[in-house]
Chains A and B, each alone.
Chain A
Amino acid sequence: MIEPGEKGSMMSVERRKIVVPLNVRYLAKLRNEVRGFLRLHSMRWRDESRVVLAVDEAVSNIIIHNRKTADLSPIEVELRHVDGTVEVTIRDTGRKFNPRKNWPPKLTRDRKHLGLYIISKTADEVRYRFVAERYNELTLIKRTRKR
């Protein structure tokens, strides 16, 4: 599930790639992998928990929606730590879906779109692009505070 990481030479960049099969059974493993990567950077537990939560929500949404289609391709999650900032890029080949269309999502009484709301509250920045008319790329950015 994990590809080897890299270390940049000019500035401190660490990277890890995780391939997640399109099945909710792999969410726990994904959370463990993300947590393991974040632990290398001594984040505060709340920041760490919230990044894990945001990734879980994003990937859960993709799995649930993409499983309704014929495309059962896995999801790619790329983690990068660059000079105190964690960037998580999530790529999937499902139907185009721009979560930033109605941004920021509001917290409704019936808690609809709760996953997107959680992502908006946990990430410092959220970027989306549909790359080469082929895949969705969602990037969550979290500036870290040391423990």
Chain B
Amino acid sequence: MSNAERNEAERLRVGIARRPDGVLLVTLAGYLDAGTFDLAEKALEKALSEGHCRMIVNMSELTYIGSAGAGVLLAAINRARALGGEVVLLKPTPAVADVLALIGMNKFCKFADTIEQANGIFRARPS
């Protein structure tokens, strides 16, 4: 990890865990703005290029999102769907949910409050 990436990591933390059912759990914590989006973008692109097209993005500790961050999520969702998968956004904070609604992503994205709910979405759309 470069110095620049280490600094970004202080402001956006990205965690990745593979669940036994094959779904990738990606945790974004901190803020996703024009200064940090590339860290999330790299992680999601890497996961997708490795064939993980079913993902849960845990947003429960994401305190802020701007258009750059929303663009990253949108690109990941489109790519996952093109691969026959889905990205489910887990428990976005009210501030983040408000931004996603403002730009119409609430109609386009799949949301869940729990992992079980997210799994239900994957079961309804098997890859």
Q: Which residue of A lies closest to B11 (CB)?
A: A28
A27-56 to B contact mask, C-beta < 8 Å, 1/0: 110010000000000000010011001001
Separation of A31 and B66 alpha carbons in the complex (Å): 11
B71 contacts across to A, CB distance below 8 A = 111, 114
Question: In the complex where A27-B35, A60-B34, A114-B67 touch, is A107 in contact with B103 (Cβ < 8 A)?
Answer: yes
If over half of B's interface residues share one DSSP class (helix, strand or loop), that class is named, otherwise mixed; here it is: helix
A111 contacts across to B, CB distance below 8 A = 67, 70-71, 74, 103
Interface centre among B68, B70, B104 (most CB of A within 10 A): B68
The size of the chain B interface, using a CB distance under 8 A, is 19
Question: In the complex where A49-B95, A49-B98 touch, is A28 in contact with B33 (Cβ < 8 A)?
Answer: yes
Separation of A62 and B71 alpha carbons in the complex (Å): 18
B7 contacts across to A, CB distance below 8 A = 25
Separation of A21 and B7 alpha carbons in the complex (Å): 17
Instruction: Establish whether residues A24 and B103, one from each chain, have CB atoms under 8 Å apart when the complex forms.
Output: no
B99 contacts across to A, CB distance below 8 A = 49, 53, 118
- Whether B111 is near chain A, meaning CB under 8 Å from some CB there, is no
Instruction: Establish whether residues A115 and B67, one from each chain, have CB atoms under 8 Å apart when the complex forms.
Output: yes
- Whether A136 is near chain B, meaning CB under 8 Å from some CB there, is no
Separation of A63 and B33 alpha carbons in the complex (Å): 13
Separation of A121 and B67 alpha carbons in the complex (Å): 13
A70 CB → nearest B CB, Å: 21
Q: Report which B residues bind A (CB closer than 8 A).
A: 7, 11, 31, 33-35, 64, 66-68, 70-71, 74, 95, 98-99, 102-104
